[in-house]
Amino acid sequence: MGDDLHVAKLLSSRLCHDLVGPVGAVNSGLELLGEGFDQGSDEDGRALALVIRSADEAQRRLAFFRAAFGFGAGAKGQATLDEAGSLAAGFVEYSKITLDWPSGYSGPAKPDVVKVLLNMVLMAMESLPRGGDVGVTFGDLDEGLGIGVTASGETAVLRDDLREALAEGEKDVGGEIGALSARNIHAYFAQCMARKIGGLIEHSEGQTADIQFAVIFPKSSN
């Protein structure tokens, strides 16, 4: 499992690396274009604003995905939870999601911990098809670092395919992975990553339209 995860991270890093440059260049070019643009036409102004926003959103998403799936988060040793929070905030900027990230917890964490955390945020967002609140909590427990991510909204629901992918990720190498698809592979990846560093992503569905994800990482993995 470890080698497969390493290959997956390398592939993700390569894809993001090859895309970050061109997208960043487009974004910079559009900003320069906007500075000298004639705002006399409302339609042209709206069109340019839409393109600039789309380019910025693409850049934010690439930064998030690079950290969540590749080697974009402190690949040389440590990342920080503040950096993860900035990436998550950028990712939800143009969505219907409100992110509540704790401001008093800025300690370092290994890149794989950050990957699991960001994927939990992604799963929480996908559990809110009409928008809502995603809350993140950290706790220093006797067992290690506890992380909780809660999706709150009137239509909060954990998709069956995400639930199945998390369950498949709990299995040892050789388990049946026929239930995986492009829509839920990140849940499987996150669970495998969590197991690799001594944790296990658990989920629950509360009576108040909340979906909760939680994991505890041993102190040796923080």
Mean pLDDT within 87-111: 89
- Strand locations in 141-191 (E): 144-152
Distance CA(93)–CA(72), nearest Å, equals: 20
pTM for this predicted structure: 0.83
Residue 131's pLDDT is: 94
Average pLDDT, the chain: 81
- CA-based nearest residue to 17, from 85, 75, 99, 88: 75
Which positions ≥6 away from 40 have C-beta within 8 Å? none
Please write the tens of the pLDDT for every residue from 112-137: 999 999 999 999 999 999 999 999 99
- Chain-centroid distance, C-alpha 119: 4
pLDDT at 170 over 60: yes
Q: Which residues of 114-152 are buried (b: 16+ CB within 10 A; e: fewer)?
A: bbbbbbbbbbbbbbbeeebbbbbebeeeeebbbbbbbbb
- Which of the given ranges, 24-33, 73-82, 160-169, has the highest pLDDT on average? 160-169
- CA-based nearest residue to 87, from 118, 58, 116, 132: 118
Tokens representing 60 are 């934010």
Residue 6's pLDDT is: 54
Q: Which residue has the tokens 């990436």?
A: 87
**Residue of higher predicted confidence among 160 and 183:** 160
Mean pLDDT within 23-46: 62
Strand order in the sheet with 144-152: 97-100, 132-140, 144-152, 210-218, 202-205
**Residue of higher predicted confidence among 42 and 147:** 147
- Which of the given ranges, 39-43, 73-77, 111-115, 212-216, has the highest pLDDT on average? 212-216
Alpha-carbon torsion, ordered 168, 172, 177, 180, to 10 deg: 40
CB 113 within 8 Å of CB 217: yes
Please write the tens of the pLDDT for every residue from 208-219: 679 999 999 998
How do the domains of the chain map onto residue ranges?
A: 2-221
pLDDT at 14 over 80: no
CB 156 within 8 Å of CB 210: yes
Please write the tens of the pLDDT for every residue from 82-97: 899 999 999 999 899 9
**Residue of higher predicted confidence among 43 and 51:** 51
Distance CA(215)–CA(119), nearest Å, equals: 12
Of 75-84, 89-98, 103-112, 205-214, least confident by mean pLDDT is 75-84
Residue 197's pLDDT is: 92
CATH of domain 2-221: 3.30.565.10
Which residue(s) pair with 59 in the sheet?
A: none
